[in-house]
Structure 1
Amino acid sequence: MSLENLGVTNIDLLNEMRRQMDIIVSSAAATKFDERYDVGFGINTHGAKHISMFVNECIKIKLLLHVSTAYVSGEKSGIILETPFTMGETLNGKNDLNIEEEKTMILERHRQLVIEKANEEAISSAMKDFGIQRANLHGWPNTYVFTKAMGEMLLLDGLRQDVPLVVLRPTIITSTYKEPFHGWTEGVKTMDGLIAVYGRGRASTFLGDPSKVLDMVELKCKVSSGLVLMSVVGNVEVGQ
């Protein structure tokens, strides 16, 4: 995702993909809330740009489905319309976000850390803090949702006008509905930690309002004839 042509260097294969692919589901992402800014930006933001560049070269393209997140809307309350972002839009109303400048600042911050001879652990910690800082500056709570929001902007700005686009903004994705089996969880992120400690018997309860709906998504993913089909199922009420 962080590489042009999605890292495909074989020209014959690349041209074949461009000739044959008609539906693309883009769901790859760095999902840690406090991911290193350079990593999150490379995958979630520039990754979306690379997807649009690739799609623009596909001859038979009929649909691009891009999986984002509901939390690109930040910490707003009440009914939130899923309107698309405009380039440079921010959640604090200043609308002074410049994605190319963010890229330049990431490179400069990393260069400074190398000059200071910081070790890899220190660089990782500093880049995580830098991501949170930049996200908060523009009104987002963390690096993940900030980089995903910028990814949406680049996607909408760079995609060919005749390509049908669906931006899906699910809430918290947890386990799979069916494949490879019901309940399969890939890694520990978002709410997975609570599920893991409950499943292991290390926690029997957690605080919650029984009148609220805990909005979680199980993924149902099936590969058929080279097409990835995804659907989301159900909300879960607290206590059930």
Structure 2
Amino acid sequence: MAPTVQEFYRGKTIFLTGGTGFVGKALIEKLLRSCPEVGTIYLLMRQKRGMNCEERLKDLCSKQVFCLLREKNPDSFKKLKIINGDITEDGLGISEDDKKLLQKECQVIFHSAACVRFDQKLKDAVNMNTTGTWRMLSLAETMENLEVFVHLSTAYCRCDLDVLDEKVYRAVHQPRKIMDIVQWMDDDTLAYLEPKLISSEPNTYSYTKAITEDLVAEYAGKFPVAIARPSIVTAAWKEPIPGWVDNLNGPTGLIIGSGKGVIRTMHCEPSYRADAISVDVVANACILIAYVTAQDKPKETQLYNLTLSGAIAMTWEEIIRLGEKYVNEYPYSVALWYPGGSIKSYKIMHQLDMFFSHIVPAYLVDALLFLLGKKTFMINLQKRISHGLSIIQYYTTKEWHFRNNNYKSLRSRISAAEDEVFFTDQTQIVPEEYLKNYVLGTREFVCKEDPGNLPRARKLHKIRYFADRFIKLIFFTLLLWTLYSNIHVFTSSVELLDSTLKSLPPIQAKADEIGDVGL
């Protein structure tokens, strides 16, 4: 009899990177709460923003994602131990003692650390995403009791393919050669070559994830290896709090930006299906992937596309319509303007709308602030928004197809009781309920708005609504008046010209007169 998931993790020593990230937090929380007999979880952590690692761990444990743990099992935090280090440094920057500790004790590795900025320079993206993974793999190779290595990639790692299968694809360039190039090549030359090097992918994030998968696959056979490829990772569906999210990445930024009246146009093909996966489902899948891979001990790399494919079919238009509904029902207290705008299928229409609804108002607001002696900010804000939209819109103007049979098969490897704990069946998601919680989650967890201030927020929202309609009324009134005035002037000019022509002698008579004079 195979052990249950909880039995498998009993006493296990885990090494996890990216623990302070969105997925990392959800994974730590789920392991501690649903596998209460897990052994030690070592977290690779570095000093940041003037905080040492101990302070960062304390800050991590105070996050809202751990509210259930703090309430029901506060002692579980004692299982979290720090490994001082940095994924971007040689040897991970860890001490010799910590290295020996991991080599002796570690049994499961979850490698989720990555730079998720799509506009990162190639050198930095390779050092973090590819070379950092190689450093982890090199350490894993020396571990005495390692049972499984789980690497988190992305379902958007091969954007040139029409359909992404659950298999390893040979990278366009050999990862070790790219790692070598970025080490010795000067920055100017590398910047010149970057567009050509990453031409198969839309950005350095996707490119480095693609070549990193090839690197990870090299180690298959040395120890069990699995790669998890989530699509767009969004707010929690069920746990620990419905709607929990802690960043502005992807759809979260769009929800907040449109809800605050800052984003009013977007280039998107409304009929295309969207693919996203909630962060708690990703955490559950990673736990099950490690469990299954450790049991099977495969000699080949196992691939899992953690995607919505085949579960729920929703278009961007449907999602945006629901989003608009709930940002108006649960508005933000602090907003620039009343939500509005629309999605555009044609890029030229989007650019025109952006000029009139984003750029022109930004200059007007900053001009007013300048005259009042206040600090300007709208132009810079709109530049950042424009840059962010240009990145996101690559993914909203193309239809994506993923095969995820391996991922869906995870349910068949666990009991019905465990499936209730480590849920992966996304067909049970109710989109309306999920998006409502998502909007509420952005208010509470990202914008830090007290749910109790919702009545006040609705009053302010109503004021913004009437202000929006009043301004539009004035604008259209002026527009109609201008058109009327121009038409009136044009009509008067035509009438004057007509009367002038009528007062002149007949053209033929004049011509005859001119002819007589000529003779």
Query: Hey, what does 2:217 align to over in structure 1?
Result: 156
Cα separation, partners in 2 of 1:236 and 1:182, compared to 1, 3 Å: farther
For residue 152 of structure 2, the aligned residue among 61, 67, 71 is 67
2:181 pairs with one of 105, 108, 122:
105
1:172 corresponds to which letter in structure 2? I
Counterpart of 2:244 in structure 1 is 183
Relative to structure 1, the CA distance from residue 111 to residue 68 in structure 2 (aligned partners, 3 Å threshold; closer, same or farther) is closer
Change (3 A) 1:200 1:81: same
Q: Cα distance, 1:110 vs. partner?
A: 2.8
Aligned equivalent of 2:94:
8
What code does the residue aligned with 2:101 have? Answer: E
Q: SS at the partner of 2:110? A: strand
Q: Does structure 2 retain, via aligned residues, the 8 Å contact 1:221–1:229?
A: no
Alpha-carbon shift at residue 149 of structure 1 (Å)? 1.2
- Secondary structure class of the residue paired with 2:127: helix
Aligned-partner SS, 2:169: coil
Quick one: structure 1 residues 104 and 163, their matched pair in 2 at CA, closer, same or farther if it must change by over 3 Å? Answer: closer
Q: More helix by proportion, 1 or 2? A: 2
Secondary structure at the aligned position of 1:72 is classed as coil
Alpha-carbon distance between aligned partners in 2 of 1:201 and 1:229, rounded to the nearest angstrom: 39
Q: Which has the higher contact order (CA 8 A, sep 6+)?
A: 1
Q: Is the 8 A contact 2:230 2:282 kept in 1?
A: no
User: After the TM superposition, which residues 28-39 of structure 1 pair with which residues of structure 2 at under 5 Å, given as runs?
Assistant: 28-39=113-124
List alignment gaps of at least 5 residues for structure 1: 91-96, 114-125
Structure of larger gyration radius: 2
Q: 1:107 to 1:210 in 2, by over 3 A?
A: closer
Q: Normalized per residue, which structure has more strand? A: 1
- 1:9-158 superposed matches below 5 A: 9=95, 11-77=96-162, 79-86=163-170, 89-90=171-172, 97-110=173-186, 127=191, 130-136=193-199, 139-157=200-218
Indicate conservation of the 8 Å contact 2:107/2:148, yes or no: yes
Under a length normalisation based on structure 2, what TM-score does the superposition of the two structures give? 0.36
d(CA) in 2 for partners of 1:207, 1:222:
28
* Conserved? CA contact 1:132–1:141, under 8 Å: no
Deviation at 1:202, TM superposition (A): 3.8
Partners of 1:74 and 1:135 in 2: how far apart?
A: 11
Aligned to 2:279: 219
Shift of 1:133: 3.3
**Aligned equivalent of 1:118:** none
8 Å contact 1:24–1:64 — kept in the other structure? yes
Distance 1:181 1:58 in 2: 38
Provide closer, same or farther for how the CA distance between residues 85 and 48 of structure 1 changes in structure 2, counting only shifts above 3 A. Answer: farther
Give distance in 1, aligned partners of 2:154 and 2:98.
31
1:68 shift after superposition: 0.6
Asked if the contact 2:230–2:307 (Cα under 8 Å) also holds between the matched residues in 1, the reply is no
Kept in 2: contact 1:218–1:233 (CA 8 A): no
Name which of structure 1's ranges 203-212 and 29-38 shifts more when overlaid on structure 2: 203-212
d(CA) in 2 for partners of 1:133, 1:218: 34
1:93-147 CA deviation, whole Å, 9 max, x = no partner?
xxxx24344234323443657xxxxxxxxxxxx74x65343101xx222211111
SS, match of residue 153 in structure 1: helix
- Structure 2: distance between partners of 1:142 and 1:222: 23
Q: Is the 8 A contact 1:75 1:141 kept in 2?
A: no
State the identity %: 20
Is residue 166 from structure 1 mapped to residue 239 from structure 2 by the alignment?
no
Q: Whole-Å Cα distance in 2 between the matches of residues 219 and 21 of structure 1?
A: 25
Offset of residue 69 of structure 1: 0.9
TM-score where L is the length of structure 1: 0.72
Residue by residue over 1:50-78, the C-alpha shift from the partner in whole angstroms, topping out at 9 and shown as x without a partner, is 1211111222211111111111112322x
> Conserved in 1, the CA contact under 8 Å of 2:130 and 2:179?
no
Give the letter for the 1:81 counterpart. D
Report the AA paired with residue 185 of structure 1: D
The 1:17/1:32 distance shift into structure 2, 3 A limit, reads same
Corresponding letter in the other structure for 1:54? L
Q: Distance in 1 between matches of 2:175 and 2:267?
A: 39
Residue equivalent to 2:451: none
- Do the aligned partners of 1:131 and 1:142 also contact (CA within 8 Å) in 2? no
Q: Secondary structure at the match of 2:214?
A: helix
Aligned with 1:169: secondary structure? strand
Structure 2 stretches lacking a partner, 5+ long: 1-86, 290-305, 320-519
| Cα pair distance change 1:199/1:84, threshold 3 Å | same
| Alpha-carbon distance between aligned partners in 2 of 1:160 and 1:207, rounded to the nearest angstrom | 41
Distance 1:180 1:14 in 2: 36
- RMSD of the TM alignment (CA)? 3.2
User: Take 1:144 and 1:36, find their aligned partners in 2: how far apart are those partners?
Assistant: 9
Q: State the one-letter code of the partner of 1:190.
A: G
2:477 corresponding residue in structure 1: none
1:172 and 1:222 mapped to 2: Cα distance?
A: 10
